[in-house]
Every structure is written in C-alpha cells, then in structure tokens.
Amino acid sequence: MATFTLQGNETHTNGDLPAIGSDAADFHLLTVKMQDVHLADYKGKKKLLNIVASLDTGLCVTSAKTFGEAIQGRDDAVVLVVSADLPFAQQRACTAGGVENVELLSMMRTKAFAKDYGVLITDGPLAGLAARSVIVIDENDKVVYTQLVPELSTEPDYEAALAAL
C-alpha cells in the first residue's frame, strides 16, 4: 500500500507502483471509440502512462496536454492517459482543453489496471479511482520510471518522466 495526500489528508492505494526494471503488467482498457486495448497493442513503442483520477478536472487535462505536446513528432513513443471516466467524458474534456497527441483510455469495464499497477485509491472520497501517477514503459515493456504524485492536487514531475521516455 502506498500513501499520498488528498488536500492534505492521508489517502492510500491498494499497492505499490511497479518496480523499476520489472515487466509491465498487461492491461485491458477501453478507447474513446469503445475498442478494447492491451499492452501488446503498443508493442515496440515507448509508453508514458499518465494516470489520473478524472479528466473532469483542470489539472488532469493540463497534465494530458503537457505530455501530449512534449512528445509531438515522436514516432517511437505514445502517451496513454488512463482514468476511470467514461470514454465520452474523456473525449469531451480533452477536446475542450485542447489536448492532442495522446490516447485516452478508460477503466470503465474493469479496475484491474488500477489494481495491477498499484494505483487504485482504497479510501477517502475518491476511493475506486486511480491516484495521479506516471509510469514509463520502454519499447521492451520494462518499467523504467514511476511516480506516485505525493499530493493529488499537484502536477507530476514532467521533466523526470519525459527524460525517462
């Protein structure tokens, strides 16, 4: 179990982020076109998982936009923005926020992704959503960087995540 704060209140996840050097766990998520995707669908690419509680908040949209802009023009990498939001809500929020160059993925059908990656919030008002985290997975599906943002209402360390990508 990992600990972070939500507006200063201690909050917990179901586990810990994957260990650096470990094999990334497979996942089953849903695109905004309601298509199932798995880790293997991104084979050979570097993957930056921008995990957020909800794209219905300005900060979550900001992180998606920042990462999307940072990898623009890169064919070797993809930004996967993962939340529990419905795909329609993800699309609406990111269109309104001018987010481009990311893939929006929903945990709508199952929370297995959040459980397997140790980011499922287990207590407090956001229990059942995912804690703000960044995980970078290399082209061989090895975990090379992780960050559980210590306070949910703050931005991730963009520079460190992008350096790992």
Domain span at 19: 3-164
Per-residue pLDDT, 63: 97
pLDDT tens for residues 110-139?
A: 999 999 999 999 999 999 999 999 999 999
Per-residue pLDDT, 78: 98
pTM (global) more than 0.95:
yes
Number of domains within the chain: 1
Q: Can you tell me the distance from the alpha carbon of 135 to that of 143, in angstroms, rounded to the nearest whole number?
A: 7
Per-residue pLDDT, 60: 94
Could you list the active site residues? 60
Task: Assign 49 to helix, strand or coil.
Answer: strand
| CATH, residue 100 | 3.40.30.10
Per-residue pLDDT, 99: 95
Q: Are 133 and 51 in contact (CB under 8 A)?
A: yes
Query: Comparing C-alpha atoms, which of 57, 51, 47 is closest to residue 4?
Result: 51
pLDDT tens for residues 38-73?
A: 999 999 999 999 999 999 988 999 999 999 999 999
Q: Which two tokens mark 9?
A: 């209140």
Residue type present at position 131: A
Share of the chain above pLDDT 90, in %: 98
The C-alpha torsion from 135 through 109 and 35 to 90, rounded to 10°, is -60
Please classify residue 114 by burial: count the beta carbons closer than 10 Å to its beta carbon, then call 0-12 exposed, 13-18 middle and 19+ buried. buried
Q: Can you tell me the distance from the alpha carbon of 83 to that of 80, in angstroms, rounded to the nearest whole number?
A: 10
